[in-house]
Amino acid sequence: MKNTVYLDYNATTPIKPAVVELACEIMSAVGNASSVHSHGRHARKHVEGARQQVANLAGVTPGQVIFTGGATESNNAVLKHFTGKRILVSAIEHPSIRNALPDVEFIPVTPDGLLDMDAFEKMLDEGTPPALISVMMVNNETGVIQPVAEITRMAKAKHKDIFVHTDAVQAAGRIKIDFPALNVDYMSLSAHKMGGPQGVGALIAAPGAPVTKFIHGGGQEKRQRAGTENVAGIAGFGLAAELAVSDMENYQRLLPWREKLEAEIKRIAPEMKVFSQNAPRVASTTALCLAGLPAQTQLMSLDLENIAVSSGSACSSGTFKPSPILLAMGAGDEDATSTLRISMGWATEETDIDRFIEVWTKIYERACEKTKQSA
Amino acid sequence: MGFAKAPKDTRVVVAMSGGVDSSVTAALLHEQGYDVIGVTLQLYDYGDAIAKKGACCAGQDIYDARRVAEERDFPHYVLDYESNFREAVIDDFAESYLKGQTPIPCVRCNQTVKFRDLLDVAHDLEADCMATGHYVQRLINEEGQVSLCRAVDDTKDQSYFLFATTQEQLEFLRFPLGGWDKDITRQHAQRLGLMNADKPDSQDICFVPGGDYAKVVKKLRPEAERPGDIVHMDGRILGQHKGIIHYTIGQRRGLGIGGGHDENNDPFYVVTLEPDTNRVIVGPKEALARDVIYMKDCNWLTRGCTDISVKLRSVSKPEKATLYQKEDGSAEIHLHEPQYGIAPGQAAVCYEGTCVIGGGWITETKNKHYAQAA
């Protein structure tokens, strides 16, 4: 077996060893967090401890944190609370925002992948005042950091009753998250994008921000979200959140590697384009576009060499589709289907990048050879 | 497979439809140690085609192919070929009906999406060959010439659908099931524990669920369903039709004009479809007799044969005929015995013995005796 290189952290991150250990340990102990006896109390302690850890990640109080089955659920819950009202979301949101309700309006983005503030202002000024705005902190495909604080400021200056939600899934562990400073009302988080387990996330709500009961049943999560807690998952999430904060400085080591990657690829293929290269981005993500070299071919060839990357968000269940995010940024169909997303994280090493460059170069040269032959 | 290297160093891309045949092909080659890569094409929007709300992305067939690959543990990819398929196959299918023809989309698909586009991907993946689950045989003669021949299992033979395969494509292709009958394939499916071992064979055109092709054509070309006259060959108007897309040459049932054309009450048949005048011409069975066939866009694996047998639709038997190949890609076939109900748009596939020498698309037919153009 050849060495595997995993460069698809924005799809899911490897779980940090301490998190695996903790979750396994909790899984081997019995206990329902709602039970009165000592087993129940132990389970409950893990859940509440995790709530504190997740609250610390976002700079909120534990009472503001509702655990969910993942960010898709959190995103859905927020949008559905505003059913029937005017909702504006950025055109580059995750499908769990874009498809949560049938009639959300899309705020355009610039070719650099940043929210188009002029267009946004116009949408705020025209028509019925919107009830909810949702703009992600960091885009999953380009890594662009959106000016959420500024967006909130503009929205709330124009309409004091407006609510603002941010999907912070790709921000956690990459950049500092300060819920109060962003002045948002809701935030979604996902454990598996920050070294935690899959199937657990959180919805954070500002004091007084309404949340509709979104799963009915027992009294868990302050009666908002019924169902026996995923105790091991939640505890793992808590630890992952704590580590996301403490490891964040370490995260900056990725920046020179990304710069090296982009520079090397551009040296080999000068026609290569990096999406959003001039916008503020997190250090871990790059979207490389080489028009005419289909991402699906690159992805398969890389996979057969045990290198895992992505051609966009993995929502379309393993098939290859032009990325709606890149299309929203004004990319043509060819560019959008010729873009590879490389995303790094806590366990990435420089040799991973070297190996990627080595294998990618071979794929590129083969494609050039073929073009020459058919010409 | 004909490679001078070990199976593990031989990369085989297997086109997997999700059916039993291609699943067995892939699983067997993998079992034999080949470096197998399964590829399944997403050809159309399944949710849209089966008009089922909420069906997203992958249909059952894609799911089945993926599961087989997962269980057998070889790489598998789903490629989005919706736009290629739409352009190369579905649009052509609708267009053909509008022209009063009876198309065979499966051949178009083999000719374009599968053996052109997918084969290209196989080359990109540095495959040594591409294998499919088709029931045809690929034989090599003493001079090393590769030929395409009927399957051993006559009831399963798919050579008709592959007539457009070029020599170059044929050299790269492998059909491991062509020497078997279906029972053996099923036995292997059981033995390998494939989860789709009992899946029935597909009968329909893949994007026409339930066989209601007129519905698909109407959806693509809403103007297609224009009512018009059903006219007797002698010029009498006998009734009204719902649109020529609903009719096929040789069709007898469902004309809705009742009665017969003579004292014996012999039934009427569709003899000609006239897209220009939007008329359906009907007549007695004898009027369908044809012994000259004109073809275009021919593909020849062998040139120079004249004494051949020809299949004029997928389910019919080969008929003795004389072939005249022309330089411009067209050809003419003279049947030894007249045949009935030959539909333009279908393929005329020529055989010498059991081997395919090539074929083309039927454009026009004639009856030498009456010298009557149709």
Tens-place pLDDT, residues A98-134: 999 999 999 999 999 999 999 999 999 999 999 999 9
- Which of A226-230, B58-62, B322-326 is the least confident region? B58-62
Cα of B340 vs its chain's centroid, Å: 20
Look at B121 and A297 and tell me if their CB atoms are within 8 Å. Answer: yes
Which one of B129, B149, B206, B298 is the catalytic residue? B206
**First CA to last CA distance, chain A:** 37
CB nearest to B57's CB, from A301, A317, A366: A317
Phi, psi (deg, nearest 5) at residue B6: -65, 150
Provide the shortest C-alpha distance from residue B206 to chain A (in Å). 19
Question: In sequence order, which ranges of chain B are alpha helices (DSSP H)?
Answer: 20-31, 46-49, 60-72, 82-85, 91-98, 105-109, 119-124, 167-172, 182-191, 213-220
Choose from B34, B46, B80 for mutation: most chain A CBs within 10 A. B80
* Pair of tokens at residue B220: 């693509």
Is the confidence at residue B259, as pLDDT, over 80? no
d(CA B20, CA B198): 8
Amino acid, single-letter form, for residue A324: P
Name residues 348-367 of chain A within 8 A of B (Cβ).
366-367
Interface contact flag, B58 A317, Cβ < 8 Å:
yes
CA-based nearest residue in chain B for residue A303: B75
| Alpha-carbon span B322 to B111, nearest angstrom | 25
Each residue's pLDDT tens digit, A210-254: 998 889 999 899 888 999 999 999 999 999 999 999 999 989 999
At B374 the pLDDT is 45
Q: What percent of chain B has pLDDT over 90?
A: 63
> In CATH, what number does A5-13+251-374 get?
3.90.1150.10
Closest CA to B291 of B371, B347, B346: B371
**pLDDT digits 0-9 by tens, A5-28:** 999 999 999 999 999 999 999 999
> How confident is the model at residue B260, as a pLDDT?
63
Which of B153-157, B202-206, B211-215, B361-365 has the weakest average pLDDT? B202-206
d(CA A284, CA A252): 9
B333, two tokens: 């076939």
Of B80, B123, B126, the CB nearest to A320: B80
Q: Which of B42, B78, B125 sits opposite A301 (nearest CB)?
A: B125
DSSP A63: G
For the cut 50, the answer to whether the pLDDT of residue B51 exceeds it is no
Confirm whether B206 is a catalytic residue. Answer: yes
pLDDT value, residue B254: 77
Fold agreement between A5-13+251-374 and A17-246 = no
Instruction: Provide the H-helix boundaries in A82-116.
Output: 95-98
Nearest-Cα distance to chain B for A278, in Å, is: 31
Is B112 a residue whose pLDDT tops 60? yes
User: Is the Cβ–Cβ distance between B223 and B94 less than 8 Å?
Assistant: no
Minimal C-alpha gap between B15 and chain A (Å): 15
Answer yes or no: is pLDDT of A1 > 50: no
Helix (H) or strand (E) holding A15: none
Residue B14 binned pLDDT confidence (cut-offs 50, 70, 90): very high
| Residue ranges of chain B whose CB lies within 8 Å of a chain A CB | 37, 42, 56-58, 66, 75, 77-80, 121, 123-126
ipTM of the prediction: 0.86
Q: For position B211, what pLDDT does the model report?
A: 79
Kindly list the structural domains of chain B, giving each domain's residue range(s) and its CATH number in brackets, ordered by start.
7-211 (3.40.50.620), 225-287 (2.30.30.280), 289-373 (2.40.30.10)
Give the rounded percent of residues in chain A with a pLDDT score beyond 90.
87
The least confident of A203-207, B158-162, B236-240, B307-311 is: B236-240
pLDDT given at position A322: 79
Q: Which residues of B touch A301 (CB under 8 A)?
A: 124-125
Decide if pLDDT at A348 tops 80: yes
The residue length of chain A stands at 375
Residue ranges in A195-338 assigned as alpha helix (H): 231-246, 248-251, 254-268, 295-304, 324-328, 333-336
User: Which of A228-242, B84-98, B343-357 shows the lowest per-residue confidence on average (mean pLDDT)?
Assistant: B84-98
Domain ranges for chain A, please list them: 5-13+251-374, 17-246
Is residue B368 pLDDT above 90, yes or no?
A: no
Q: Give B75 to chain A, closest Cα distance, Å.
A: 8
Q: Report the distance separating Cα A296 and Cα A205, nearest Å.
A: 39
For residues B28-35, give the mean pLDDT.
98
Tell me how crowded residue A157 is: count the other CB atoms within 10 A of its CB.
Answer: 10
Q: How far apart are CA A70 and CA A60, in angstroms?
A: 19
Contact B124 A366 (CB under 8 A): yes
Contact A291/A326 with Cβ under 8 angstroms? no
User: What is the Rg, in whole angstroms, of the alpha carbon atoms belonging to chain A?
Assistant: 21
Q: Does A279 touch chain B (CB under 8 A)?
A: no
Instruction: Using pLDDT thresholds of 50, 70 and 90, give the confidence band for residue B169.
Output: very high
Is the pLDDT at B57 greater than 70, yes or no? no
The rounded mean pLDDT for chain B is 89
Q: Which residue has the tokens 């049947």?
A: B335
Q: What is the DSSP letter of A122?
A: H
Contact B68, B188 (CB under 8 A): no
B258 against A247, higher pLDDT: A247
Residue-averaged pLDDT of chain A: 94
For the sheet containing B76-80, what is the strand order? B76-80, B35-42, B11-15, B129-131, B173-174
Class of A17-246 per CATH? alpha beta
Q: What are A3's two structure tokens? A: 């060495």
From A46-55, B6-15, B195-204, the region with the lowest mean pLDDT: B195-204
Distance CA A9, CA A348 (A): 9
Distance of CA B365 to the CA centre of its chain: 20
In this model, does residue B280 exceed pLDDT 90? yes
CB contact set of B99 (below 8 Å; sequence gap of 6+)? B275, B345
Torsion of CA B177, B178, B183, B186, to 10 degrees: 20
Q: Of A247, A202, A234, whose CA–CA distance to A70 is shortest?
A: A202
Diameter over CA atoms, chain A = 76
**Would you call A370 and B124 a contact, using CB atoms and an 8 Å cutoff?**
yes
State mean pLDDT over A290-307.
92
Q: Six-digit token pair at B24?
A: 């067995």
Least confident segment among A42-46, A146-150, B84-88:
B84-88
